Amino acid sequence: MKEVSPLNDFVISADRDEKVRVSSYPNAYVIQSYCLGHSQFVTKIHTPAYSSTENPILVSGGGEGLVNLWNIKTGKQLSTIDIKKVAE
């Protein structure tokens, strides 16, 4: 899966592994950051349109039932929600 950030400055991609790669756009060979925090495959990525230019945000969902919030530029994990616990 692949997504372009709302400001068209990053391409965010995830495959069948547990990492999210953030690349510069249009030079996708330049890696900006990796978002590492899922223990299973990434199922969904989304960059909200309201994300700021200074601290752009990425939301990712994983097969282990976690939803993570990331800073796109740094790859720093900002928050985690365990969907299994919320659904109980």
Order of strands, edge to edge, in the sheet holding 19-24? 2-4, 10-14, 19-24, 31-36
Q: How far is CA 87 from CA 9, 44, 66, 81, 82, in A?
A: 35, 18, 12, 11, 9
What radius of gyration do the chain's Cα atoms show?
Answer: 12
Q: Which domain holds residue 44?
A: 2-87
Q: Whole-prediction pTM value? A: 0.85
Tally the domains of the chain. 1
Distance, in Å, from the CA atom of 20 to the CA atom of 72, rounded to the nearest integer, reads 10
Per-residue pLDDT of the chain (88 residues; tens, 9 = 90+): 777 876 678 899 998 889 999 999 889 899 999 999 999 999 999 988 766 667 789 999 999 999 999 999 899 999 999 988 887 6
Residue 46, domain CATH: 2.40.10.480
